[in-house]
């Protein structure tokens, strides 16, 4: 299993939930290593998977979410739930899964993407063309707006898309 040609491009999945996520994460109850962060996270509306030998080996989820930055309001595609079979990590499968979600968002007319990640994952997303946002990014929580406890990153989906200066307020639960 050496080259990327052994893996398919990501396709949209009709049925994906916690049992599939947990299984893909090797059976872990905390496959994203985020339990210690607390807070409520938004479930993804769409799911994209990379298939290999008849099973999904990488996943990325997405939602459309409204943000306000420096007085400008616009929708972004929020990316989350990115996970790769532990035995197949380091082969570019996260890139393929996220690319499927971003391609769908671009086709839907969105021009920016947003995600949140633990600090040790930021270098991966930087290599994939994502840019860090200044802290704090504020998002909805059941008790009101709260700073998101991990770093936010954004990515342009079309030429010329930029990110305005100013505080970032996600008018949604974080993804």
Domains of the chain, residue spans: 4-170
What is the reported pLDDT for 132?
97
pTM value?
0.91
Residue 154 contacts residue 112 (beta carbons within 8 Å): yes
Provide the pLDDT confidence category of residue 85 given band limits of 50, 70 and 90.
very high
d(CA 162, CA 155): 9
Tell whether the model's pLDDT for residue 25 goes beyond 90: no
- Mean pLDDT confidence for 76-96: 95
DSSP 3-state helix, strand, coil percentages of the chain (rounded to 5)?
25, 35, 45
What is the reported pLDDT for 27?
86
Provide the pLDDT confidence category of residue 1 given band limits of 50, 70 and 90.
very low
CATH class of 4-170: alpha beta
Tell whether the model's pLDDT for residue 75 goes beyond 70: yes
């Amino acid at each position: 299993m050496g080259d990327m040609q052994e893996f398919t491009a990501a396709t949209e999945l009709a049925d994906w939930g916690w049992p599939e996520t947990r299984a893909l994460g090797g059976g872990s109850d905390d496959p994203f290593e985020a339990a210690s962060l607390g807070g409520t996270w938004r479930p993804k509306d769409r799911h994209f998977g990379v298939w290999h030998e008849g099973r999904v080996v990488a996943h990325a989820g997405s939602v459309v979410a409204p943000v306000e930055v420096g007085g400008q309001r616009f929708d972004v595609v929020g990316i989350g739930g990115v996970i790769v079979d532990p035995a197949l990590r380091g082969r570019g499968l996260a890139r393929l899964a996220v690319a499927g979600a971003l391609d769908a968002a671009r086709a839907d007319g969105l021009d920016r993407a947003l995600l949140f990640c633990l600090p040790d994952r930021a270098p991966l997303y930087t290599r994939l063309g994502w840019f860090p946002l200044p802290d704090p990014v504020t998002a909805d929580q059941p008790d009101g707006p709260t700073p998101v406890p991990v770093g936010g990153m954004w990515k342009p989906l079309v030429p010329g898309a930029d990110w305005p200066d100013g505080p970032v307020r996600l008018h949604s639960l974080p993804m």
